[in-house]
Structure 1
Amino acid sequence: MDDVGKNLNRLLDQKNFRTRFEEMMQEVLQDQDVRNFLDANKERLTQQDIERSYAKLYEFVQEKRKFEVNDPSMIAPGYEPQLTLNYHSVDVTYIPTEELLARKKQEEIRGRIQALNMPKDIQEARIETYEMTSGRGEALMAATEFIRAYKQNSKTFHKGLYLVGSFGVGKTYLLGAIARDLAEAGFTSTLLHFPSFAVEMKQAIGKNQVSEKMEAIKKAPILMLDDIGADSMSSWIRDEVFGVILQYRMQEQLPTFFTSNFSMLELEQHLTVTQRGEEEPLKAKRIMERVRYLTKEIQMAGRNRRNS
Structure 2
Amino acid sequence: MKSLSSAIQQLMNGQNMQPAYQQMMQKVFADPTVKNFLNQHQDALSKDVIQRGEAKLYEYYHETELIRKGTPTVAPGYSPQLTINAGQIDVVYVPTKKLIEQQRQQHIQNLVRSINMPKFIRHASFDSYYVDDAHQTKSRNEALDAALNFVEHYSPSQFRPGLYLYGSFGVGKTYLLGAIANELAKANGIATTMVHFPSFVVEMRNSIKQNNTGDKLEVVKKAPILMLDDIGADSMTTWARDDILGVILEYRMQEELPTFFSSNFSMDELEHEHLAVNNRGEEEPVKASRIMERIKYLSREYEMVGANLRDKG
Report the TM-score when normalising by structure 1. 0.89
Distance 1:88 1:210 in 2: 58
Question: 2:113 — aligned with what?
Answer: 114
Distance 2:205 2:164 in 1: 25
Given the alignment of the two structures, is residue 177 of structure 1 paired with residue 179 of structure 2, yes or no? yes
Out of 152, 157, 165, the position equivalent to 1:148 is 152
1:206 aligned counterpart, secondary structure: coil
Out of 237, 257, 261, the position equivalent to 2:260 is 257
Out of 276, 279, 285, the position equivalent to 2:280 is 276
Question: 2:241 — aligned with what?
Answer: 238
CA-to-partner distance for each residue in 1:149-175, whole Å, 9 max, x for gaps?
21xx32122111100111111111111
Question: 1:91 — aligned with what?
Answer: 90
Distance 2:240 2:153 in 1: 32
Given the alignment of the two structures, is residue 191 of structure 1 paired with residue 190 of structure 2, yes or no? no
How many aligned positions are there?
290
CA-to-partner distance for each residue in 1:101-151, whole Å, 9 max, x for gaps?
11111111111111111122312222233335423011011111211221x
Which AA in structure 1 matches 2:168? S
**Identity %, equivalent residues:** 53
Distance 1:30 1:141 in 2: 60
Question: 1:61 — aligned with what?
Answer: 61
Which AA in structure 2 matches 1:100? L
CA RMSD of aligned residues (A): 1.8
Which AA in structure 1 matches 2:91? V
Out of 284, 290, 293, the position equivalent to 1:289 is 293
Given the alignment of the two structures, is residue 128 of structure 1 paired with residue 127 of structure 2, yes or no? yes
Distance 1:135 1:294 in 2: 21
The alpha-carbon deviation at position 283 of structure 1 amounts to 1.4
Given the alignment of the two structures, is residue 222 of structure 1 paired with residue 225 of structure 2, yes or no? yes
* Structure 1 residues 16-35: aligned runs within 5 Å: 18-35=18-35
Which AA in structure 2 matches 1:296? R
The alpha-carbon deviation at position 20 of structure 1 amounts to 3.7
Out of 132, 138, 141, the position equivalent to 2:142 is 138
Question: 1:161 — aligned with what?
Answer: 163
2:138 aligned counterpart, secondary structure: coil
The alpha-carbon deviation at position 236 of structure 1 amounts to 0.6
The alpha-carbon deviation at position 17 of structure 1 amounts to 8.7
Q: Which runs of 4+ in 1 moved over 6 A?
A: none
Which deviates more, 167-176 or 61-70?
Answer: 61-70
Question: 1:7 — aligned with what?
Answer: none
Distance 1:27 1:262 in 2: 73
Distance 2:69 2:216 in 1: 47
1:77 aligned counterpart, secondary structure: coil
Distance 1:272 1:69 in 2: 68
Which AA in structure 1 matches 2:169? F
Distance 1:36 1:286 in 2: 73
Distance 1:17 1:54 in 2: 12
* Structure 2 alignment gaps of length 5 or more: 1-15, 131-135
Distance 2:257 2:47 in 1: 66
The alpha-carbon deviation at position 205 of structure 1 amounts to 1.2
CA-to-partner distance for each residue in 1:220-248, whole Å, 9 max, x for gaps?
11100000011111111011101111111
Question: 1:39 — aligned with what?
Answer: 39
Distance 2:282 2:178 in 1: 36
Distance 1:279 1:154 in 2: 38
Distance 2:47 2:17 in 1: 22
Distance 2:220 2:185 in 1: 18
The alpha-carbon deviation at position 18 of structure 1 amounts to 4.5
2:208 aligned counterpart, secondary structure: helix
Report the TM-score when normalising by structure 2. 0.87
Q: 1:239 to 1:57 in 2, by over 3 A?
A: same
